[in-house]
Amino acid sequence: MAKVYVTGMGIITALGDTLELNRDGLMQGKCAIGKLDSFPSKYAETLLFGEIKHSNAQLKKMLNVNVKGVSRTSLLALHAFNQAIQDAGISEKELSNSDTSLVIANTVGGMCLTDELYQDANQHNSGSEYIASYDCGSVGVFLQDRFKIRGIVNTINTACSSSANAIMYGARLIKKGYAKRVIVGGTDSLAKFTINGFNSLHILSPGLCAPFDKDRSGLNLGEGAAFLVLEGEDSIVDQKIIAEVKGYANANDAYHPSTLSENGDGPFLAMQQALKQAGLTPGDIDFINTHGTGTENNDEVEGRAMIRLFNKVPAFTSTKSNIGHTLGASGAIEAVYCILNLLHQEIYPSLNFKESITDTRLIPEQSYSKTVINNVMSNSFGFGGNCSSVILSKV
Amino acid sequence: MFYIHQTVCISPQITFPEANLEQLIICNENKLYAKEPSYEGIPTGILRRMGKAVRLGVAAALPLFKLNDQLDGIIIGTANGGMEDCIKFLNQIMQYEEGVLTPTNFVQSTSNAVASQLGFFSKNKGYNITHVHRGLAFENAIIDAEMLLDDNKEHTYLLGGLDEISTYNFNIDYLCGYIKKESITNADLYTGKTEGSIAGEGVSMFVVNNNSKDAISNFRAIQTIHTTDDKELAAVFKKFLAENLSDRETVDLFLTGENGDFRYENVYETLESILKEDTVVARYKHMCGEYQTASSFALWLSGWILQNQNVPMHMLKTSLKKNEIANIVIYSNYQGFQHSFMLLSKV
């Protein structure tokens, strides 16, 4: 079966709006989580967020977006998308060929426009400029229209594992021969909706999130977007290849809408099946970018599932300690970070860890190091038991 | 390509538990609500907390779980998922000024609530996904199922499409101009010359695999395209027919998503003119209303037509000139820019 390669990538997070800024921040162990500035919320002062400090007006200017009704979620996506296609050297003509596909993940859509949505949904007025931009599909529709993409276009929402599934769907479109190149990725922006949602579940940390720490107290919400350009090996002429999408799997925990089962069957199955699909054994994985949200439930269960699968748990970190949990974007953002691990043969420090969880005794990497990395695993688990793992490999 | 086995459809028409489609169920005020079943098998306490989309999804899937204890995954297409819960939660945020809120609506507001509840109800730890690409959400679920079945020849999956009418998405669709300004009944959907359609909802679920034995129908091909250019659409349609039908085969029935919005009438006419004279043209949106995943209703309906060799009178746009219906092409058009073609054949 044809191999699927990554030939370009783009990213915007609280660490910065370029690949370089993100790598610098990761190398320096920078935590970009802080106070919320861009919109008023009761929690702006009391909780911490991985916010991108570009206003919507700045983003629109930077990106030359002059049409109305474009949400922040779409603007972040466009920024990362532009970088990715530029990095891969894809022409406008190639983009609008029928063999180019687009697969986007997000969970917030235009719901970041809380006030406008409230007005429009309750019909208090005659319709704001954002009336057709609230659904998750709106981001894909916006990019499809802007770049006249004619192949299969899809939007996936499996909560926090959404963009891992977008990568997976894109890779499969190539393997099946439905597309030559697929731009895959995820985006989500901070929203009053998700802040209050996660707050109602009591899983937002009052301080900085501390993945895999014994005294962790929840997650910090973040925002961002990342895109990867995937191309089949048959389509490679002289493109630079930056990684291979070696394996992936999706499994369900089938336990509870918002917590993982004690033994982590979903996470275990996702990791195990991704290995099988990649034709690798647990010993082949050099590094794991964990889901590692910093919630009580996730980190313990994920740790337990890793112990179940790996005889010796590989080096691991959680980059959510740098940028917060970017929900539907996290799988794609973390895939980009994994590719940075592979390209530069380096591991970035996981932050805010002090003491290991009693039951699992797992300790994340806490300092920058150079090391040999051939295969990395990226975990993404979401509400509804939606668990996915992606394996990226050096070429 | 794959085979469709058991199906369940809960719609505004009489489709559940048994279908009776001869008599059209009439609706008013531009809304075609699904006929909700009695929800036997869902504990009352759980049922009360479910939003309509989740309720409908679970009710449709439960009988299929009973018949299949070995499903390898759950693949759902839904544009909005639990929109009702979503805005309920939003309204709480606004009304209580971000006070102490209960998470139930939030958890059910995510689009993947239906697929995950189904995984939970059936203890299914297999593949579980939710496609939400607006008017092509269900089509992507089909493409996903097709790819999975190509890689896993022995697998069986649950494939479903659903969306609900909530006060909120009705308001938004109305403000978008997707709903008619004047009040009509579904029986008169195709007679006016105005913009917009009528709102609809429903759920259709399918058990799909590669086994032709005892199958209801054979799903042979799907093509999606985003375009507002009729010429491009016509070219895609011609290519779809040429690639997927042999010279000996004909399209016996062309089932279109014509929805009473006069802005798109010419699109249907253009496509109908590509087909041979004796192809029967039929419509279904007067039965289920307009919603992003209405093509899942069309797929269910096509299976029913192939099995029963009957096209109810109220569906016909042209006269029924065929003795046998073996091949059906379903055409879906969401707001003039998201299109799909599907080819379904008798087994």
- Give B317→chain A minimum CA distance, Å: 30
Q: Is B345 on the interface with A (CB under 8 A)?
A: no
Note the pLDDT tens digit of each residue in A199-251.
999 999 999 999 999 999 999 999 999 999 999 999 999 999 999 999 999 99
According to DSSP H, which parts of chain A are helical?
19-27, 56-63, 72-88, 92-95, 114-121, 137-147, 162-175, 192-200, 265-278, 296-309, 320-323, 330-344
Q: Of B191, B166, B184, nearest to B28 (Cα)? A: B184
With bands split at pLDDT 50, 70 and 90, how would you rate the model's confidence at B285?
very high
What does the alpha-carbon distance between residue B140 and residue A158 come to, in Å, rounded to a whole number?
14
Q: What is the pLDDT of residue A140?
A: 97
| DSSP codes, A371-382 | ---SEEEEEEE-
Statement: residue B267 has pLDDT above 80: yes
Statement: residue B22 has pLDDT above 90: yes
Q: Is A211 on the interface with B (CB under 8 A)?
A: no
| DSSP codes, B263-311 | GGHHHHHHHHHHS-TT-EEEE-HHHH-B-TTTHHHHHHHHHHHHHHT--
With bands split at pLDDT 50, 70 and 90, how would you rate the model's confidence at B110?
confident
Mean pLDDT, residues B210-222: 97
CB atoms within 10 A of CB B266: 10
Statement: residue A1 has pLDDT above 80: no
With contact defined as beta carbons under 8 Å apart, do B186 and B321 qualify? no
The answer to which of A41-55, A307-321, B91-105 has the lowest mean pLDDT is B91-105
- Give A147→chain B minimum CA distance, Å: 11
Q: What is the pLDDT of residue B146?
A: 98
Q: Is B107 on the interface with A (CB under 8 A)?
A: yes
Q: What is the pLDDT of residue A227?
A: 98
Statement: residue B108 has pLDDT above 90: no
Q: What is the pLDDT of residue B243?
A: 97
- Give A271→chain B minimum CA distance, Å: 13
Which residue among A121, A140, A386 places its CB closest to the CB of B133? Answer: A140
Q: What is the pLDDT of residue B323?
A: 86
Q: What is the pLDDT of residue A56?
A: 96
Record: contact B136-A141, CB cut-off 8 A: no
Q: Is B181 on the interface with A (CB under 8 A)?
A: no
In chain A, pLDDT over 90 holds for what percent of residues?
94
Q: Taking CB atoms and an 8 Å cut-off, how many pairs form between chains A and B?
A: 196
Q: What is the pLDDT of residue B74?
A: 98
In chain B, pLDDT over 90 holds for what percent of residues?
88
Statement: residue A124 has pLDDT above 80: no
Q: Is A258 on the interface with B (CB under 8 A)?
A: yes
Note the pLDDT tens digit of each residue in B177-186.
999 999 999 9
Q: What is the pLDDT of residue B320?
A: 84
What does the alpha-carbon distance between residue A106 and residue B230 come to, in Å, rounded to a whole number?
30
With contact defined as beta carbons under 8 Å apart, do B62 and B121 qualify? yes
Angle among Cα A41, A42, A45 to the nearest 5 degrees reads 90
Q: What is the pLDDT of residue B130?
A: 98
Q: Is the ipTM of this complex over 0.95?
A: yes
Q: Is B137 on the interface with A (CB under 8 A)?
A: yes
Average pLDDT, chain B: 95
Residues of A in contact with B123 (CB under 8 A): 254
Closest-approach residue (CA) in chain A for B338: A141
In chain B, pLDDT over 70 holds for what percent of residues?
100
Which residue among B74, B127, B224 places its CB closest to the CB of A152? Answer: B224
Closest-approach residue (CA) in chain B for A97: B225
Q: Is A69 on the interface with B (CB under 8 A)?
A: no
* Cis peptide bond prior to A206, omega within 30° of 0: no
Statement: residue A349 has pLDDT above 90: yes
Mean pLDDT, residues B66-76: 95
Which residue among A136, A169, A385 places its CB closest to the CB of B132? Answer: A136
What does the alpha-carbon distance between residue B169 and residue B199 come to, in Å, rounded to a whole number?
9
Q: Is B221 on the interface with A (CB under 8 A)?
A: no
Record: contact B111-A157, CB cut-off 8 A: yes
Q: Of A72, A32, A15, nearest to A193 (Cα)? A: A72
Q: Is A111 on the interface with B (CB under 8 A)?
A: yes
Average pLDDT, chain A: 96
Q: Are strands B127-131 and B199-200 parallel, antiparallel or unpaired?
A: unpaired
Residues of B in contact with A152 (CB under 8 A): 140, 143, 224
